[in-house]
Amino acid sequence: MSKPKFAMYWAASCGGCEIAVLNIHEKILDVDANFEVVFWPVAMDAKYKDVEAMEDGSILLTLWNGGIRNDENEHIAKLLRKKSQILVAFGSCANEGCIPGLANFSPASEIMTTAFNTISTDNPKGILPQPHYKMPEGEIHIPTILPMLRTLDQVVDVDYFMPGCPPESHQIAAVIDLVIQALQGKAQLPPKGAVIGAGASTVCDECERKRNVKTIKEFGRIQLQHADPELCLLEQGIPCNGPATRSGCNSRCPSAGAQCIGCYGPAEGVSDYGARLVAAFGSVIDSNDPAEIDRILDGLVDPAGQFYRFNLAGSMLKASIPAIRANGG
């Protein structure tokens, strides 16, 4: 009997998801033993037309990382959706846009003009890359950048969502174990649409720092103090995103003295990450005076980034109004 087929693809991402998969070490041999890897550009053959030639639904499991930034990403997303029985949005970019999704604060045209007019760029004629360009020898082309970065489920139907930037290797190993057991009839897969490879509570629930339910008079910056290594960072005024962020990472950053920046996305049941975080921050502010509250909130120097750092593209907002307009919305 032939083994079930496995694929992994990266779109607009950094490669960290691939490294996280390789960091499961010997578990990678289980993947090899139980699956036939048919498409995985980091590891092997990357021809699109081989995928096109496959029967629809012939790949059992596809892990997709990366957002949809250009027309090539979109094309491959649709292709792999058609060929896959189970499509997993793998990692923060595919789930919610991640850091590259912050690009949605501006129209794509501004991204281009900024990148090609920096202080070190020698570009007196204001040249911008063109998707189709006629050289003396013939026309050559590159993909077209789309007006907004989109998440995978904004482009195609997604079966499961696995958060994290990148997903923790122990979570990846557990998910792979589960799929293999399901193949052997020893376990059941979760219902379609489920979040897998993560916890159901918040980063705070996994955090070992002490909380005294203390309130604050100002927000501070992590570099402008020596934070107490034992106490809750938020209660020290450091804007830590733990209260709104899904558990599953073992509270990795707060354990290392750094604030949670929210890479595991919204906690279970949170429909708007930013709104939940605003509520959590509001609950630690020690004031009822509107003017004082305003002053305290001014200590958050980048509210838009603070509340939507990893999930702007996947949030209800999705993008700034100029970017949405440029997208024809």
Partner 1 sequence: MQRITIDPITRLEGHGKIEIFLNEEGDVANTYFQIPELRGFERFCVGRPIEEMALLTNRICGVCPEAHHMAAAKAADAVYKVEVPRTGKMLRELLYSAFYATDHTTHFYALAGPDFVMGPDAPVAERNILGVIHKVGLEIGGQVIQMRKYGHTVVEIIGGRKVHPCTSIPGGLTKGITKEQRDEILEMGKWAIGFAQFSLKLFNDIVLGNKTYVDLILGDIYTHKTYYMGMVDENNKTNFYDGKVRVVGPDGKELVKYAPHEYTENVAEHVEPWTYLKFPYMKKVGWKGFVDGADSGIYCATPLSRLNAADGLATPLAQEEYDKFYKTLGGKPVHQRLATHWARLIELLYAAERWVELASDPEITSPNYHAIPTGKPTEGVGIVEAPRGTLTHHYWTDERGVVTKANLIVGTTNNYAPISMSIGKAAKSLIKKGTVVNEGLLNMVEMAFRAYDPCFGCATHSLPGQMPLEVTIRKADGEALDVLKQYID
Contact 106, 100 (CB under 8 A): no
For tokens 């490294």, name the residue: 19
Handedness of CA 317, 323, 325, 326 (dihedral sign): negative
If the CB atoms of residues 17 and 87 are measured against partner 1, the closer one turns out to be 17
For 75, the token pair is 């094309």
CB of 9 to partner 1, least distance (A): 10
Cα distance between residue 230 and residue 257, in whole Å: 9
Burial of 154 (0-12, 13-18, 19+ CB in 10 A): middle
If the CB atoms of residues 67 and 159 are measured against partner 1, the closer one turns out to be 67
If the CB atoms of residues 214 and 257 are measured against partner 1, the closer one turns out to be 257
CB of 188 to partner 1, least distance (A): 30
Torsion of CA 13, 222, 312, 202, to 10 degrees: 90
If the CB atoms of residues 258 and 278 are measured against partner 1, the closer one turns out to be 258
CB of 45 to partner 1, least distance (A): 5
If the CB atoms of residues 194 and 321 are measured against partner 1, the closer one turns out to be 321
CB of 47 to partner 1, least distance (A): 6
CA distances from 58 to 62, 77, 181 (A): 11, 15, 20
CB of 286 to partner 1, least distance (A): 22
